[in-house]
Structures are given as C-alpha cells and as structure tokens.
C-alpha cells in the first residue's frame, strides 16, 4: 500500500494523493484496518486514511501510553535511513480501542508516508 | 609622630579633659548613625508593598487559573469519550477556548509590565512561548475531541507535556518573584540587622574608643609611672641601663625620670670608683651573706679560679662556686668533698689559711666574719712570692754556676753528718782541688773554665750516692760528704772514683781539656768531730796531696797538722817581723879580679827571730812570696840598702835582689825612685839582681818596670846564670849589664873540665854582648886560681868575705878607702 501511495504521489502529485488518502471510500488506500497516513517532516498531519480530524494538526509532540513519541521516531527514520518500522499504540479505526500497532514508514518527498498493522487481532491480519 | 610627641608633653590634667571630650563625640556619632540607617529601611519597605507583592499575587493566580484550564481540557476529552451530551461538550469547549484566549491576554499584560527585572523578563518570555505552544496543543486537542474522542485522548499525552513545560516555566517565575520578595525581606532584615549592628558596633566602638583613650591616657601616665617605679627598683639594685625612655618629656613624668637619671648617674660614678678600686686589687675579694650566697666579688676573684663573670654573679650560692672550682680541677680529687664541707662550715670566726691548689698555686685565704653570719673573704695568690722566696733560699745555699750546694750548705750538711757520727756512723769529707785550673782559665778563657767546672760538677754527681753531698766551695774547690762508711778504705775507693771521673778528657767548645785533681780526706770521728776541724783537716790533706805532686789523694795525718801549724806560726811571725824591725841587711863584697878592689856589695836579708835566732832566707822568702809579704819586705830592703850605701865611697855600688812578685807589683818604680831620693844615692850606684824566672813571666808589666828602672840609670845583673833554663833568649829580651855565674860551677871547678869550659863560654859570650861577668861562691885560693884566667871581671865569695853587718864592712872599707885616698 505504501508503494501505491508513492506511485500516486510520483504520478499525480501531492494534492491528489492527499485527497485520495483522506477519502475512506477509496479502496485503493483503505483495506479493513489498513490505511496510509502522511505527515510533513515537521510533524504536521497532511493526510490521514482513518482520522480526518488530525489533518492540519501538528502532532510532533504526540506520544502513546508507553511514552513513545511516535511521530518524532517516524521523522527520524525518514530523515535517516529513509524507511523503517515503528512500534506504538494507536486507536483502531474499527474498534475505536487503543491497540499495539507496527507501522512501516517511508520518506516521500518533503513528507513521509506510513501504513501500520494492529497486532492485537492476529485473526484479522 | 608629632601627635605622639604632643601627647607625651601634655600635662596629665589636659589629657583627662581631652579624654572626656573624645567620649562625648563618640556618643553623638553613634546616635546620628542609627537615625540615618532607619530612614533607609522605610524605602525598602515601600518597594516591597508597591511592586513585589502584587507581582507575586499575579503569578500565583496564573498558576491556579492555568491548572483550571488544563483540567477543563482533560474534562472535555473525558466527557467526549464517555458520550456526554453534545450541547454540554460544546459549552465546555467554548468556555475552555475563552479561557485560553483570556490567559493569553493576561500573560501579555504581565509581559508588558514596566517593573520587570531583566532576568524576570526572560522568564516571562519563556512562559509566554510555552503558553502559546500549550494553547495551540490544547485547542488542537479540543478540535480533534469534537469528532474523534480516542484520538483526543491520544493527544492528551502531548498536551500534558506542554502543560508541564508551562507549569515549570511558571514555577520558575514564581520562584523568582518569591526570591525577589525574599531578597527584599532579607535586605530589610539586613537593614534591621545593620541598624542593630550600627548600634551595637557604634556602642562597642564607643566603648573601644573609650578604652583606647583610657589606655592611651594610662599609657602616657600609668605606664610611665610603672616605668618610674621599675627604674627606681633597678637603680637601687644597681642595674643602671635605664635607656632614654620618657627622658625628653616635658610633663611631670619627664621630671621624675630625669630626677632618677641624675640619681643613677651619681650612683654610677660612685660605683665606678668602687669597681675600679675593687677590680684593681691584686687580691681576689668576695662577700657572702648569711645564707652563703655571693653578695659581691671582684674580677680577680673569678679570674683566680677560672670562673666566667656569669659564674660569679651576685646571688650564686657558695656551694655552686666551690663545685665549679672542683669541676675546674683545682682541688686534689679525693679531698673535694672535704673542701666543700670545710668551706660551707658556718663562718663564726675569722681565719687565715693557705690553700694549695692542684695547679701548683698557693693561695692565702683570709676570712673575716660579719655580724649577719656572712663574711668577707680575700684570696691572695702567693705562688710567685713563694717561688721567689724558695729561689732566694736556694740561691743562698747553692752555687750559681754548677747549682751544687755551696759552702754554707756544706757546713749544714756536715753538721747533720756529724750528728749521725755521734750515733756510731763513720763519715768522710773529701776536699777536691783541681790541679792547674788557673792554666785553663788563662789559656782558654774564663768561659771555657766555667764550662769545665760545670762538667766536673756533673761528673762528681755521677760518682756519689743519694745520701752523700757534693758542694762547690768556690774557685776550683769541691767537697763531698760521704755518709755511713762501712770501713775507712771506702773513702779511698770513692776518692779514686772521683779522681778517675775528673781525669777523663773533656771536650769544651771544641777544645780538648784534661784536668787532674788532688783530694784530701778527713774522717769523722777520727780526724775531728766538729765542722771546723773536719774542713781544716781535709783541706790540709788536700794541700799535702798537692805537695806530693798533685793528681793523687791523701788521708789526713797528724804530721800534716804539725807542719801546717808551724807554717801558720811562721806566717804570723813574719807579718810581725817587719813591724818589730827583726830584719837585718848583711853585705857581701864583690871584688874586681884585676885590681882586687871592692866594686860593690850584695845586700842579703837576715831575719833575727826573737826565739829561733837567725832564720835563713831560703826558709822564709818562699813563704813571704806566697803570702805577698815580699812586697813590703822588699821595699824595706831597697830603702835600707840605699840608705846604707850612701855612706860608702862613691864608686861602690849596692846590689839588691828583686823577686818576680815585686816586679809584678805596680808600685815598684815609685818605691825605688822614692828610696833613691830619700837616701840621696845616685841611681848609677844601685844594681838589681834578677833571676831568669822574672823574664819567664815576660809580661808587659814586668818588662815595662824593668825598662823604667833602667831608664833611671840603675844597673841590672842576671843572677844565678847557668841553672834552670839559662835560655839565651832571656839575655836578648832585656839589656843586662852583668851576668852572675852560679856558684855551682865554681864548687866543682877543680875536678870538672866542663865547668871551666862553660864559665869560659859564658864569659866570652858576655863580653861579646858588652856585659861583664861575676863568679859567685869562690871560697878557696885554688878556685880563684882556676877562674882567674877565664876572663871574669869580678868574683864574690867567702875567700874574700862572708856577708857581714854594715858596721863590719865599714871597717872593711875604711882602710881600703884610706889606702885608696892615700894612694891617690
């Protein structure tokens, strides 16, 4: 799914891609609990596949219940190796409960794109 | 410096007044200072109430309100998650957003305050920044919470972080404002303390100043007075070093100090005189008190016992001084404690005693007791005096050259020896006379002679036992007292040893000297039991040894004594004879062989002894020569002969014999001149007969006298020629007029061809020397016949006439004179 977003970003540009990501009805980028999210490198959410309320908010100081500054880690990965995994807790869009999640992030131009899986529900993944 | 000087010179009353003035000024100073300090405190209090306390209130309210806002954000998210009604949520959200905005304004207002300190302003800026961030996070959370409660919950964590930062910032600011307040409080408290301190310090300073002033005053009054007291004490205990302190002050103190200095000077002068007297004494002097402590002593006292000045300071206990002397090794070791006991015995009486020190000194110690149990003691070193005394005593009893006992000491020793004889011992006295010592002196000089005597003394010392005594009696005479002889022959053995010792050659100043000795021995008790007897008899024995040819020793014999006694009596008689007119002159004619006429008479002396009768010249002339009596006797002869001869016919001479002794005597020429003048006899009629022994002396004195007499016109004949040396050189040394050939040649003339030849030889020799010859001792006609052809001018002898008294020769002359005058 990350590759798909990257592909679209490269072909259709940022605005179109963000819109596509935000659009929950777009199956290309929404599969059960899987969705992409895009932030700029200052930690401002520019597109979110599950929680549109976050778009436009700076989440640089966001941390989960275990104290993981997940956005900051993602920015570090993007600026450093360019891609990698981050483990944290995040509300499941399906259940609206906070669950363990592992997300893969990748740098994408001035942004980074990430897609994560909820690990609490192995049967579903 | 100048003020100090002024302080010193102010009078005490002025000083007291000045002190009061200073105290008053102090009190005024303290009061003024306290007033000024309280004024400053009021200003500080204003600052606190007008600025700091309101600020503190504002900050405290911010803290409360910000916490309330944060609570509202939490409540909103919580309400959203728990499905509270939407209208309530909306109201809460609006309220919270309003609060956030209001808070932003309040912080801005705070930031705009003009009374912020720079550090405070920074803190407010930081708060403002943190608040902006928080406010943004809070409103985001509110936004998200409106639609997405779980996500809002998620965001609360970050919002809370921001709140924490705001809280921290606010807390810092609050702390700062609190700190400011506290600091003003501290300042205030400080001011209060200052005030207190000023009062306290001011008071203390006042007190200190008062004390200082008091001290200063007391320094300028009390200390000088103490000083004056101390100075008086010092002067009275004879410590004169006052220094110049206070001396130049013009106040009462100065006057006192100057008065003391004057007193001190007088005392010092007195003490100097006293010290000069004390320390220039040749005696060591010390005074001790009743507690046996040194009161005063002079330098000599310390010097005598090798003590330093410190060790002889007044107050030193006597025991310590005595122990010091013992430590200096002045007392014989085992007696040290005894000395201490002796010295420390209480001095109740005065005493004088002599202390012998280990180093050989003798000290006379006189102790004079005093009423308080103390005493004055003088120590006089009499070592030198004693040494001098003993040296004088030694000199009185010893010979200076050889250091042997002298005659005085010999007599003492002999006395002691004789006292032992009385207890049965035998003692020998050896009288030692060096043979021909005079010759050594004459040929080698007195220095060598003296050295020889010393060497002889040393050798004699080596011969005797310790109990024996050797003495030098003077000149070349020594004596030995030999004590406790086992048998008389021991004395002979010792005499032989002494003689052998003396006889060995000496090397003195490069001269080898050999000298022999004659020793006479007298034994006690056999030869005498008094000092006089023994001395005399030993001397006699020595004389006998000398008479026996020297280099030998003789025991005293009674015969010696007899001979000596006889000699002594003759000596006495001889001395008397001249006074008693016991001498006579007899004349023997000398006849011209050709004419048969008398040409002269030889004057011959005779001694008419009152008891012995006529004494021959051969018996008394040698004695007279030995005693020196020959000089006055000879003078009498010359006078008598001249007086007699003047009565004879003018062509008849008188011949007088001269002894060598007379020629050495310096008065001879004068005696002869006077005799000629007194008698009126022409010098040409006087003839002196001398033997060659006169010329053997050949001294300048003798020859000068002979020439002087010859210059007077007196004739000389060489007497007894042909005996002795008959050296022709004597004939050459003085121009004789006549040679008298000794009678021994005539005596044997009839049977001796040699005598004739000798007489002929002498006669022709004399003729060639322009001298005439006289033959003596012609007694028979036969002798006359023998000599007649030998060429002699004159003859003398019994054939013509024996020596006759003056009256008789007058008769002998008269007819001839008449015959001559008739013939003429």
**Span B587-637, pLDDT tens digits:** 999 999 989 889 999 999 999 988 888 888 888 888 888 888 899 999 999
CA distance B415 to B421: 10
CA distance B746 to B735: 25
Picking from A59, A26, A27, A33, the residue whose alpha carbon sits closest to that of residue A45 is: A59
Q: Does residue B395 belong to the interface with chain A, where contact is any CB pair within 8 Å?
A: no
* Residues above pLDDT 90, as percent of chain B: 21
Put simply, the answer to whether A64 touches B157 (Cβ < 8 Å) is: yes
Q: Does residue B155 belong to the interface with chain A, where contact is any CB pair within 8 Å?
A: yes
| Model pLDDT for residues B485-499, shown as the tens digit of each residue | 888 788 889 999 999
pLDDT the model gives residue B281:
83
Residue A16 pLDDT greater than 80, yes or no: yes
Contact residues on chain A for B161, CB-CB shorter than 8 A? 61, 63
pLDDT the model gives residue B547:
80
Residue B484 pLDDT greater than 70, yes or no: yes
| Average confidence score pLDDT of chain B | 84
Residue B824 pLDDT greater than 50, yes or no: no
Structure tokens at B605: 């002396």
Q: Is B192 helix (H, G, I), strand (E, B) or coil?
A: helix
pLDDT the model gives residue B821:
40
Q: 91-120 in A: which are within 8 Å (CB) of B?
A: 91, 96-98
Distance from the Cα of A63 to chain B's closest Cα (Å) equals: 6
Q: 24-83 in A: which are within 8 Å (CB) of B?
A: 51-54, 57-59, 61-65, 67
DSSP state of B51: I
- B448 in Cβ contact with B440 (< 8 Å): yes
Q: Could you say which of A52, A62, A67 has the minimum Cβ distance to residue B154?
A: A62
| Model pLDDT for residues B362-399, shown as the tens digit of each residue | 888 888 888 888 888 888 888 888 889 888 888 888 98
Angle in degrees, CA B766, B785, B765, rounded to 5:
10
Half-sphere exposure of B308 (CA within 13 A, CB side): 2
Put simply, the answer to whether A63 touches B146 (Cβ < 8 Å) is: no
CA distance B336 to B339: 5
Maximum average pLDDT range among A46-60, B453-467, B546-560, B808-822:
B453-467
pLDDT the model gives residue B627:
81
Q: Could you say which of B146, B147, B154 has the minimum Cβ distance to residue A91?
A: B154
Report field, pTM of the whole predicted structure over 0.80: no
Residue A93 pLDDT greater than 90, yes or no: no
More confident residue, B567 or B554: B554
Residue from A52, A58, A61, A100 whose CB has the most chain B CBs within 10 Å, to mutate: A61
CA distance B128 to B170: 10
Cα-based distances in Å from B486 to B426, B462, B465: 8, 20, 14
Maximum average pLDDT range among B344-353, B489-498, B808-817:
B489-498
* Residues above pLDDT 70, as percent of chain B: 93
| Model pLDDT for residues B207-264, shown as the tens digit of each residue | 777 777 777 776 667 777 777 788 778 777 767 776 777 777 777 777 878 888 888 8
Which residues share a beta bridge with B286? B297, B377
Distance from the Cα of B179 to chain A's closest Cα (Å) equals: 33
Structure tokens at A71: 């956005």
Residue B166 pLDDT greater than 80, yes or no: yes
Which chain A residue has the Cα nearest residue B157?
A: A63
Write the burial class of residue B768 (CB in 10 Å: 0-12 exposed, 13-18 middle, 19+ buried): exposed
pLDDT the model gives residue B814:
58
Picking from B563, B520, B565, B559, the residue whose alpha carbon sits closest to that of residue B539 is: B520
Residue B768 pLDDT greater than 60, yes or no: yes
pLDDT the model gives residue B723:
81
pLDDT the model gives residue B50:
73
ipTM > 0.90 (yes/no)? no
pLDDT the model gives residue B509:
86
Structure tokens at B596: 């048969």
Picking from B397, B398, B362, B358, the residue whose alpha carbon sits closest to that of residue B380 is: B362
- Provide the pairing of β-strand B686-690 with B715-721: parallel
Which residues share a beta bridge with B602? B588, B655
Put simply, the answer to whether B144 touches A97 (Cβ < 8 Å) is: no
Which residues share a beta bridge with B436? none
Residues 6+ apart with CB under 8 A from B234: B240, B241, B242
- B582 in Cβ contact with B598 (< 8 Å): no
pLDDT the model gives residue B819:
42
Write the burial class of residue B172 (CB in 10 Å: 0-12 exposed, 13-18 middle, 19+ buried): middle
The secondary element (H helix, E strand) that includes residue B813 is helix B806-823
Put simply, the answer to whether A57 touches B147 (Cβ < 8 Å) is: no
- Stretch B439-454: mean pLDDT: 88
Q: Does residue A90 belong to the interface with chain B, where contact is any CB pair within 8 Å?
A: yes
Task: State phi, psi for B479 to the nearest 5 degrees.
Answer: -145, 150
Angle in degrees, CA A16, A17, A20, rounded to 5:
85
Contact residues on chain B for A48, CB-CB shorter than 8 A? none
Dihedral angle over CA of A30, A34, A40, A45, nearest 10: 80
Q: Does residue B158 belong to the interface with chain A, where contact is any CB pair within 8 Å?
A: yes
Residue B811 pLDDT greater than 80, yes or no: no
| Model pLDDT for residues B518-534, shown as the tens digit of each residue | 999 999 888 888 999 99
| Model pLDDT for residues B46-60, shown as the tens digit of each residue | 777 777 777 888 888
Maximum average pLDDT range among A13-17, B311-315, B486-490, B603-607:
B603-607
Q: pLDDT confidence of B40, banded at 50, 70, 90? A: low
DSSP string, B105-159: HHHHHHHT-TT--HHHHHHHHHHHHHHHHHHHHHHHHHHHHHH-HHHHHHHHHHH
More confident residue, B158 or B402: B402
Question: A–B: how many Cβ contacts below 8 A?
Answer: 47
Name residue, tokens 């409960």.
A97
């Amino acid at each position: 799914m990350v590759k798909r977003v990257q592909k679209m970003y490269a072909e259709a540009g940022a605005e179109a891609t963000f819109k596509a990501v935000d659009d929950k009805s777009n199956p290309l980028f929404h599969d059960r609990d899987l969705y992409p999210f895009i932030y700029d490198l200052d930690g401002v959410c520019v597109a979110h596949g599950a929680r549109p309320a976050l778009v436009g908010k700076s989440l640089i100081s966001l941390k989960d219940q275990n104290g993981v500054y997940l956005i900051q880690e993602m920015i570090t990965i993007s600026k450093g190796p360019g891609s990698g995994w981050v483990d944290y807790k995040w509300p499941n869009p399906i259940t609206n409960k906070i669950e363990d999640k592992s997300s893969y992030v990748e740098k994408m131009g001035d942004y980074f794109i990430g897609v994560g899986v909820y690990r609490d529900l192995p049967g579903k993944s | 410096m100048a003020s100090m000087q002024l302080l010193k010179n102010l009078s005490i009353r002025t000083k007291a007044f000045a002190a009061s003035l200073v105290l008053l000024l102090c009190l005024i100073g303290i009061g003024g200072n306290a007033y000024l300090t309280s004024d400053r405190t009021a200003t500080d209090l204003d600052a606190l109430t007008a600025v700091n306390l309101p600020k503190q209130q504002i900050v405290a309210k911010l803290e409360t309100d910000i916490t309330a806002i944060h609570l509202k954000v939490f409540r909103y998210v919580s309400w959203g998650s728990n499905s509270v009604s939407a209208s309530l949520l909306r109201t809460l959200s609006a309220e919270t957003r309003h609060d956030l905005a209001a808070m932003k304004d309040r912080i801005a207002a705070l930031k705009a305050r003009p009374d912020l300190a720079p550090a405070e302003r920074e803190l407010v800026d930081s708060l403002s920044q943190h608040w902006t961030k928080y406010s943004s996070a809070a409103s985001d959370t509110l936004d998200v919470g409106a639609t997405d409660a779980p996500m809002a919950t998620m965001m609360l964590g970050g919002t809370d972080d921001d709140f924490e930062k705001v809280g921290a910032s606010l807390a810092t600011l609050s702390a700062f404002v609190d700190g400011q307040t506290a600091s003003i409080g501290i300042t205030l408290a400080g001011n209060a303390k200052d005030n207190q301190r000023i009062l306290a310090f001011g008071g203390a300073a006042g007190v200190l100043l008062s004390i200082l002033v008091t001290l200063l005053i007391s320094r300028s009054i009390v200390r000088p007075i103490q000083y004056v007291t101390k100075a008086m004490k010092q002067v009275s205990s004879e410590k004169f070093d006052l220094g110049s302190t206070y001396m130049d002050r013009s106040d009462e103190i100065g006057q006192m100090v100057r008065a003391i200095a004057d007193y001190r000077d007088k005392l010092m002068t007195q003490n100097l005189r006293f010290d000069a007297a004390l320390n220039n004494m040749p005696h060591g002097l010390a005074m001790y008190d009743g507690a046996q402590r040194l009161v005063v002593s002079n330098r000599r006292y310390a010097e005598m016992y090798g003590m330093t000045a410190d060790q002889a300071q007044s107050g030193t206990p006597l025991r310590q001084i005595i122990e010091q002397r013992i430590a200096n090794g002045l007392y014989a070791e085992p007696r040290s404690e005894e000395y201490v006991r002796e010295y420390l015995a209480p001095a109740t009486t005065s005493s004088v005693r002599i202390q012998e020190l280990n180093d050989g000194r003798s000290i006379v110690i006189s102790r004079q007791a005093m009423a308080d149990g103390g005493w004055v003691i003088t120590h006089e070193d009499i070592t030198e005096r004693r040494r001098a005394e003993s040296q004088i005593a030694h000199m009185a009893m010893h010979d200076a050259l050889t250091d042997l006992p002298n005659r005085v000491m010999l007599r003492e020793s002999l006395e002691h020896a004789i006292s032992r004889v009385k207890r049965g011992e035998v003692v020998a006295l050896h009288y030692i006379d060096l043979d021909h010592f005079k010759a050594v002196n004459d040929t080698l000089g007195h220095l060598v002679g003296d050295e020889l005597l010393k060497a002889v003394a040393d050798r004699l010392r080596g011969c005797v036992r310790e109990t024996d005594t050797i003495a030098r009696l003077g000149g070349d005479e020594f004596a030995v007292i030999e004590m406790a002889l086992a048998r008389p022959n021991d004395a002979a053995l010792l005499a032989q040893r002494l003689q052998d010792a003396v006889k060995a050659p000496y090397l003195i100043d490069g001269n080898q000297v050999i000298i022999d000795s004659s020793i006479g021995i007298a034994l006690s008790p056999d030869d005498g039991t008094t000092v006089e007897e023994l001395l005399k008899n030993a001397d006699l024995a020595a004389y006998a040894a000398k008479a026996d040819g020297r280099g030998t020793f003789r025991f005293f014999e009674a015969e010696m004594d007899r001979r000596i006694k006889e000699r002594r009596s003759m000596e006495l008689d001889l001395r008397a004879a001249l006074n008693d007119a016991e001498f006579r002159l007899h004349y023997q004619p000398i006849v011209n062989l050709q004419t048969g006429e008398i040409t002269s008479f030889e004057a011959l002396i005779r001694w008419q002894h009152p008891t012995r009768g006529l004494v021959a010249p051969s018996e008394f002339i040698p004695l007279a020569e030995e005693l020196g009596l020959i000089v006055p006797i000879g003078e009498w002869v010359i006078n008598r002969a001249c007086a007699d001869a003047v009565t004879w016919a003018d062509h008849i001479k008188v011949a007088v014999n001269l002894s060598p002794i007379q020629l050495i005597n310096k008065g001879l020429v004068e005696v002869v001149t006077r005799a000629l003048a007194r008698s009126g006899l022409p010098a040409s009629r006087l003839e002196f007969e001398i033997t060659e022994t006169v010329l053997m002396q050949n001294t300048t004195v003798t020859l000068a006298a002979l020439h002087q007499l010859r210059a007077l016109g007196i004739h000389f004949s060489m007497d007894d020629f042909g005996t002795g040396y008959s050296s022709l050189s004597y004939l050459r040394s003085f121009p004789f007029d006549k040679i008298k050939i000794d009678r021994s040649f005539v005596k044997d003339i009839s049977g001796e061809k040699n005598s004739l030849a000798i007489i002929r030889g002498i006669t022709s020799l004399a003729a060639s020397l322009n001298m005439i010859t006289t033959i003596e001792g012609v007694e028979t006609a036969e002798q006359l016949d023998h000599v007649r052809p030998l060429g002699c001018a004159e003859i003398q002898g019994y054939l013509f006439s024996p020596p006759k008294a003056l009256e008789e020769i007058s008769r002998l002359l008269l007819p001839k004179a008449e015959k001559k005058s008739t013939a003429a």
